[in-house]
Amino acid sequence: MSVALDFYVYRDSWLHRLDPRVKLWGMLLAFIAAFLLPYLWAQGVFLLGLHLLLLINHIPWAVLRRLWRQMALLMVLILVLQPFFVPAGTVLIALGPLRLTVGGIVGAALLAVRALVIAFIVGALLFTTDQRALVQAFVRLGLPYTWGLTFSLTLRFLPAIQQLFVTVREAQAARGWVAEGNLFRRFRDYLPVLVAVIIGTLRMSDRLTLALAARGLASGAPRTVWRDLRMRTTDWVTFAVITLAFGLLLVSR
């Protein structure tokens, strides 16, 4: 549970080694492409390509399957509801005001695949980029170091806060708490837990303030960076290739 927010898959591959700034640029272009491509088949090819990219770069099939499972509910919702919201073309079935249309089904399928494409683009970044590299990328792109640090700390302490919540809840259960009553009553039951979690969080941040100060965050002296990011030839080549490919896509539309 404590590493719930860490999606990184520890492997050694071309995509893992690729400079995170290039990966961010690639992600941006891929997002735009995913929104521009209007055909179901093109989105399908895109999705297939992303799967191949991840598999070639040693991301295990199990990780991809987990992402599919996480997306499943959203897919079902889109496929079931979307056709009725945006009806178009030939009517297949009409139920009162609801009309199931060919255009609606195709539109829903396109949206569903597009959502999957977006999920796998984000996956391609997060599965292959550790948190440190990601933060470094943002810092090198101009974000102040303290912002990057804050981002890391947030990722690090959200699971801790969640753990705090579970801990207090268990303590209450062990002393007779049973989930009961209406929504309002349950919400009232949760209030003391929230108070305990907030107090716990404030204490945690107090201790962290001291820990950071003790290791020299507030000293104001310039920091050096171990294993700093450096664009290698492959990074530049990749950068050029994806930019060119994106340009071709724009022209060919």
Partner 1 sequence: MLIADHLKFAYPPLGPDLPATEALREVTFSLQTGESLAVMGASGSGKSTLCHVLAGLAPRYTSGDISGAVSAAGYNVLAQMPPTGAVGLLFQDAATQLFNPTVEDEVAWGLEALGIPSQRIGAQVEEALGRFGLLNVRARSPWALSGGQQKRLALAAVWAMRPRVLLLDEPLGGLDPQGRAEVLTTLSTLHYSGVTLLLTTFRPEAAALAPTTLVLTDGAASPPAPTADVLRDEARLVEAGILYPPHLWPSLAARSAPSSAPAITVQDLHFAYTDGYAALHGVNVDIPQGQFVAVIGPNGAGKSTLLRHFNGLLRPTRGKVYVQGQDAARRSTGDLARDVGFLFQRPEQQLFAATVYEEVAFGVRRLHLADVEGRVERALARFDLTGLAQKPPSILSYGAQRAVTLASLAALDTPILALDEPAVGIDGREWARLLAWLAERRAAGVTLIIVTHEMELAARADRVVALADGRVVADGTPDEVLSRPTEVPR
Site residues (CB under 8 A) for partner 1? 2-3, 6, 10, 130-132, 152-153, 156-157, 159, 164, 167-168, 170-178, 192-193, 195-196, 199-200, 204, 207-219, 221-228
Tokens representing 116?
């999957």
Q: Which residues contact 8 (CB under 8 A, 6 or more apart)?
A: 126, 127, 128, 129, 130, 131
Distance CA 115, CA 121 (A): 10
Nearer to partner 1, 73 or 179 (CB): 179
* Longest CA–CA separation in the chain, Å: 71
Residue 172 amino acid letter: Q
User: Would you say how long the chain is, in residues?
Assistant: 253
Minimum CB distance to partner 1, residue 8 (Å): 8
How much helix, strand and coil, in percent to the nearest 5, is found in the chain? 70, 5, 25
29 CB-near residues (< 8 Å, 6+ apart):
242, 243, 246
Please report how close the Cβ of residue 120 comes to partner 1 at its closest, in angstroms: 23
10 versus 184: smaller Cβ distance to partner 1: 10
Nearer to partner 1, 2 or 70 (CB): 2
Least CB distance to partner 1 at residue 94 (A):
45
- Shortest Å, Cβ 155 to partner 1: 8
CA 59 from centre of chain: 16
Instruction: Identify the burial level of 118 via C-beta atoms within 10 angstroms of its C-beta, where 0-12 means exposed, 13-18 middle and 19 or more buried.
Output: middle
Please, which residue, 144 or 192, has the CB nearer to partner 1?
A: 192
> In the complex, what is the shortest distance from the CB of residue 147 to partner 1, in angstroms, rounded to a whole number?
15
* Closest distance to partner 1 from the beta carbon of 118 (Å): 25
